[in-house]
Structure 1
Amino acid sequence: MSGFHFPDRFSGKVIVVTGAAQGIGRAVATRAAEEGGTVLFVDRAEFVAEIAAAVDGKAAAFNADLETYEGAGAAMQFAAEIFGHIDILINNVGGAIRMRPYAEFEPQQIDAEIRRSLMPTLYCCHAVIPHLFARGGGAIVNVSSNATRGIHRMPYSAAKGGVNAITQSLAMELADRNIRVVATAPGGTDAPPRRIPRNAAGDNAAEKGWMAEVAQQVTDSSFMKRYATIEEQVAPILFLASDEASYITGSVLPVAGGDLG
């Protein structure tokens, strides 16, 4: 991968990365392993195993549906069993399924957005806490979004607002247990084509138009007038996960070219 690398930055650390089969999650998990971490790649996509197997470092894969508490609990338990403990959790699962004005959302579509982009973080934070207690501390990094202010993604925006609230409240609650809870809020990001689409049903003509409006709004709201690269999102996430950020907790770092979300 391109960008700055810090060999052995995560040496001795066991890191669980969710949503690790593609996109930002895959890049984060891969680079964490390259920097000395022992990494569990978690995803419900079966091909996450081939992604982990190709990593230059110590890694394993686990299939789980993190929209269920059972999936979150099983992933954390698996990491602890095969690696002995957990030091860091990076919650990356999420992403808008549909982009349309809020008035156009159907009730079941609202529910689906909340399940996709809030519940995995809520469940995984809860499931990892006993393991971090047993370790005597650790870090949780949540991947939120600057879409808390944006068009055509209202349920997703609400879910990511919930992720921000989890970050701030849980950081306050766990600080005396030597556990940091932080987040990044990415803006628009150029990513490789997805092997599993965000919307399995496909986008109709109207949704394609609304998506183009979102892309324009995201670009216009950025001071830099462009999307980020994957590496520009990975670096802040791993900084916050590392011991270099040892006095940072409860913070949500916008990574959106100046757009605070």
Structure 2
Amino acid sequence: MFAGRFSGRCAVITGGASGAGKAVAQRLAKEGARVVLWDLNPQALVEAAAEVGAAHTCAVDVSDPAAVAAAAEDTRKALGSVDLLLCSAGITGPTAPVVDFPLEGWRRVIEVNLNGVFYACRALAPYMIANGYGRIVNLASIAAKDPNPNASAYGAAKAGVVGFTKGFAKELAKTGVLVNAVTPAVFVTPLLEQMPESQIEMMKSKIPMGRFGELDEVVSMICWLLSDECSFSTGATFDISGGRATY
């Protein structure tokens, strides 16, 4: 870790009460950032905020654009500015072939995993643009490049995140706000608990290193992208896949 690397920065983490979001929040706070956690689960938010040392929390469903806009304004009023954004809120959704995929399950995965990223970026980017500085990281997945069978909604949503990131980054390229995506293979988070064991083993078998990623490995990459050290990369997709993706 780098002491003081994020001193004076305000960071918003969606899905910040668990998994990668919470782990990144902990690292950012230890390195000097004021961290704001957004999450759907109010009780998990309380517990995570105490553990992370969060400056502020918002209980918000990222699939609700009005709720996201309200959370953005609440965050600005509480912290004064927003410098960093990690969009990590996500769900895996149902496991089923396309012909049997439940329609409501499809809609929910797209709403949370793709539309939620759009809503958060749309609501918070104006504060960064006004300040002439910002770092945004959208957490996609290796499924954006190499989707798994029986998880069509998840793959489609994450591919959408990559496409959105590229276009959005070009819009902001001269504003001082950099936007990048991260596409990890499976790593150990609570999301695994939502999947059947057969799906988990199938995904592990596709990773040449023969293991899932460790959370700290993903956190380190995300934190670099959120830092001043990342200064000439925007609209890029950063893989961390144990060799599964080589392009």
TM-score, normalisation: structure 1: 0.88
Kindly indicate whether the alpha-carbon contact (under 8 Å) linking 1:53 and 1:59 is maintained by their aligned counterparts in 2.
no
Letter in 2 for 1:77: E
Change in Cα spacing, 1:193 to 1:180, as seen in structure 2 (3 Å) is closer
Q: 1:231 aligns with which of 206, 216, 222?
A: 216
Residue 219 of structure 1 deviates from its aligned partner by: 1.3
Shift of 1:217: 2.7
Shift, 1:223, TM fit? 1.5
Secondary structure in structure 2 of the residue aligned to 1:185: strand
- Gaps of at least 5 residues in structure 1 are 199-207
Q: What is the distance in 1 between the residues matched to 2:80 and 2:69?
A: 16
Alignment correspondent of 1:43: 39
More off after superposition, 20-29 vs 129-138:
129-138
CA deviations 1:25-83 (Å, max 9, x no partner) are 11111111111001101101102022112324x52211111111112112221221111
Which moved further from structure 2: 251-260 or 11-20? 251-260
Contact 1:146 1:256 in 2 (8 A): yes
Verify the 8 A CA contact 1:184 1:237 in the aligned structure 2: yes
Return 148-157 or 47-56, whichever deviates more. 47-56
| 1:8-30 residue CA offsets vs partner (Å, 9 max, x unmatched) | 11001010000011111111111
Other-structure match for 2:185: 187
Q: Which moved more, 1:112-121 or 1:158-167?
A: 112-121
Amino acid paired to 1:247: F
Equivalenced residues, count? 243
Q: Which amino acid aligns with 2:185?
A: G
- How many angstroms apart in 2 are the aligned matches of 1:193 and 1:136? 35
Question: CA distance change for structure 1 residues 173 and 77 in 2, over 3 Å: closer, same or farther?
Answer: same
State the Cα deviation string for residues 217-259 of structure 1 (Å, max 9, x = none).
Answer: 3212212011111111111111111111111111111111111
1:221 aligns with 2:217: no
Which residue number in structure 2 is paired with residue 171 of structure 1?
A: 169
Q: Within 5 Å, which residues of 2 pair with 1:37-186? A: 37-47=33-43, 48-56=45-53, 59-148=55-144, 149=146, 150-186=148-184
TM-score (norm 2): 0.93
Whether the 8 Å contact between 2:110 and 2:154 is mirrored in structure 1 is yes
Contact 1:151 1:217 in 2 (8 A): no
Cα drift, residue 192 of structure 1: 5.2
Which residue is equivalent to 1:205?
Answer: none
Superposed CA RMSD in Å reads: 1.8
Q: Could you say what secondary structure the match of 2:174 adopts?
A: helix
Amino acid at match of 1:129: A
Choose the corresponding residue for 1:254, options 213, 230, 239.
239
Query: Structure 2: how far apart are the matches of 1:247 and 1:76?
Result: 27
Percent identity of paired positions between Structure 1 and Structure 2: 32
State how far apart, in whole Å, the 2-side matches of 1:159 and 1:192 are: 19
Ranges of 4+ aligned residues in structure 1 off by more than 6 Å: none
